[in-house]
Chains A and B, each alone.
Chain A
């Protein structure tokens, strides 16, 4: 379970660029829930993700994961709890490493990295099993450099990297923004399948109104650092993507 209570984040404090990004933000996401966040650019969606992941320290308020307050836990340590998939597949993967090395790297997220060889048979079998979920034939290309893969394949790989190690909260930050429409649909479907199978708390930011209504249990609309509207399952079924887009424009 994730709980954000009264989070305030101000960037460039005391300069002319002073910007109050998050203002008294409250959010509660239960176990197994899949929440979609929408909102215009600059409304604080990514800042909220960075606060949850620990890249940004809030000025006030608390980040609570499974009843423990992690507000002061550094992001490298918080990696054991929070898994993040980023918008750009080039940032989410390491192009000069092989698929296996990328997965091994992610497999140890939040664990102590010792002097044991990373390319063990046991791990490789796990990687093959997980990559097979993608139907992209990546399981037979473990030794390929990630730089040789397409953007869609890299983004799919970064999804697997996000779930290969244990976590409590999965954050998906506009994961389809850098992909072409049909690849985007494919990656989105894979992400939804993984979230469903993992049955753990997930939050996704998207600018695609269709995804915002199709996937997840509820949709939240953010504006000026706050959650201003909530659409539950019943409301969502009566909405069309165009109506949702109109709501964003209205606010």
Chain B
């Protein structure tokens, strides 16, 4: 693997690390298997691409993309809480509808290329900018989860009955967590779009598996009870995932090609699940 490929894996790892944080928030923290992410990732990319094409500031595009993702999360939350849909159905339905919405946002063009358009990565070294962005997001999410509000979110995923006993309004908190999670995922989609220089309506397929793989690899590498460590583990897991994929695709003796990517990812998820936890054994897992 060349230096360039390694750097590109690190950068993709950091971008998808933010997706992994969002997925960790729903799947792990509040125990809500949210499948909206395949749609909200593209939504973020689409919104960012359109805004950049119109000449808006790249940072502004990121913020609006996150906002759009938050609205998608709100949709899933409302479907689940007020329309009493099961969590899986609410997410799938939202992602399904987002496909059309994304095409609408992209004005019917399934692929927008950002040639000669200013992005946040044309300003300076992409790797360092991504490190800074990932660090800020990591610190913000870890901080939120260390507050009283964050503790209430975590209690929902662990023991709903006790959470209600302690006066936590489960429906409201679930919706807030979904908004936050999908805002992160859309933000990550917007970063991906700026980094790769295009937005494609089908680029979100499998976001959930990539994110989950990252979360699971992270949990195996850094089994910890501290929120700051476990959030960092999501980003680390995402980077390790990218490096493993790049290594697998570039080792000639394996003879793997780009179209084998999903097979590799799936195989990796299975391998991670079978792997015993490094270091401390997880308590009562």
Contact = CB atoms under 8 A, between A and B. Distances in A.
A178 to B, nearest CB: 15
A108 B146 contact: no
B152 interface: yes
A94 B165 contact: no
A119 B226 CA distance: 12
Contacts of A86: 161, 165
B167 A114 contact: no
Contact of B152 (A93, A108, A116, A147): A108
B154 A97 contact: yes
Interface string B101-134: 0000000000000000000000000000000000
A91 B152 CA distance: 16
A76 B151 contact: no
Range of interface residues on A (Cβ < 8 Å): 35 or more
A53 B167 CA distance: 11
Contacts of B158: 94-97
Nearest to A108: B148
Nearest to A81: B167
Contacts of A84: 165
A176 interface: no
B194 interface: no
Contacts of A95: 158, 283-284
A79 B164 contact: yes
A84 B162 CA distance: 9
B183 to A, nearest CB: 16
A145 interface: yes
Interface string B148-169: 1111101100110110111111
A117 interface: yes
Contact of A114 (B147, B159, B170, B284): B147
A95 B155 CA distance: 10
Contact of A117 (B147, B165, B167): B147
A105 B152 contact: yes
A75 interface: yes
Given A76-B167, A108-B166, A145-B225, A94 B147 contact: no
A105 B147 contact: no
A76 B168 contact: yes
B205 interface: no
Interface in B158-200: 158-159, 161-162, 164-170
A118 interface: yes
Contacts of A94: 155, 158-159, 162
B159 A145 contact: no
Q: Most chain-B CB neighbours within 10 Å: which of A93, A105, A114, A116?
A: A105
A92 B155 CA distance: 12
A55 B162 CA distance: 12
Contacts of A106: 166
A104 B167 contact: no
Given A105-B152, A108-B152, A116 B165 contact: no
Given A114-B147, A118-B148, A118-B151, A77 B167 contact: yes
B151 A104 contact: yes
Contact of B144 (A91, A115, A148): A115
Given A95-B284, A105-B155, A147-B284, A114 B148 contact: yes
A218 interface: no
Interface in A44-103: 53, 55, 75-77, 79-80, 83-84, 86, 91-98, 101
Contacts of A109: 165-167
A113 interface: yes
Contacts of A75: 164
Contacts of A91: 159, 161-162
A80 B167 CA distance: 7
Q: Most chain-B CB neighbours within 10 Å: which of A80, A86, A118?
A: A118
B32 to A, nearest CB: 16
Contacts of B143: 115, 117
A79 B143 CA distance: 26
A88 B165 CA distance: 14
A113 B151 contact: yes
A110 interface: yes
Contacts of A148: 283
Contacts of A116: 147-148
Contacts of B148: 104, 108, 113-116, 118
Contacts of B165: 53, 79, 83-84, 86, 109
5 contacts: A53-B165, A75-B164, A91-B161, A108-B151, A116-B148
Given A97-B155, A115-B147, 18 more contacts: A75-B164, A76-B168, A76-B169, A91-B162, A93-B162, A94-B155, A94-B162, A95-B283, A96-B284, A101-B154, A108-B151, A109-B167, A114-B148, A114-B149, A117-B146, A118-B146, A118-B151, A145-B225
Query: Which 5 pairs between the two chains have the least Cβ-Cβ distance?
Result: A79-B167, A113-B148, A109-B166, A147-B284, A94-B158
